[in-house]
């Protein structure tokens, strides 16, 4: 992959350079969004100007906010105190399926 399209790079390159880069792509792997039909010339121009903008600072989501949002379903004192299954915990992998709201083992 190429360099990130961050304002410190895109402002130096300029809008016209970026329009060509977005429309025709690059040998380094940038798709040809304009000539492929994905974006028209107005959209390419809009995208070139957009990637030159400094994004706003995201709002802080600190520990007090997180703790205020917690929903304790089973209090710690009511949770199991010992292992209740036969899984080999030294040989298990888990992943969170965020969209499905599930955990897979």
pLDDT tens digits for 39-98? 999 999 999 999 999 989 888 989 999 999 999 999 999 999 999 999 998 999 999 998
Residue holding tokens 């007090």? 64
pLDDT given at position 1: 62
pLDDT given at position 28: 82
pLDDT given at position 27: 86
In a domain, 77, yes or no: no
Say how many domains are in the chain: 1
Say if residues 105 and 94 touch (Cβ distance below 8 Å).
yes
Does the predicted TM-score (pTM) go above 0.75? no
In a domain, 68, yes or no: no
Residue 30 domain boundaries: 7-50
In a domain, 102, yes or no: no
Phi, psi of 58 (to 5 degrees): -65, 150
Residue holding tokens 């994905």? 38
């Amino acid at each position: 992959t190429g360099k990130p399209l961050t304002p410190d790079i895109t402002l130096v390159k300029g809008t016209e350079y970026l329009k060509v880069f977005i429309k025709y792509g690059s040998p380094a792997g940038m798709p040809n969004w304009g000539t492929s039909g994905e974006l028209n010339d107005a959209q390419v121009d809009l995208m070139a100007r957009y990637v030159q903008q400094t994004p706003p600072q995201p709002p802080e989501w600190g520990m007090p906010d997180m703790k205020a949002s917690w929903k304790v379903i089973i209090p710690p004192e009511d949770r199991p105190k010992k292992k209740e299954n036969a899984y080999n915990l030294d040989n298990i992998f888990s992943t969170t399926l965020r969209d499905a709201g599930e955990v897979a083992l």
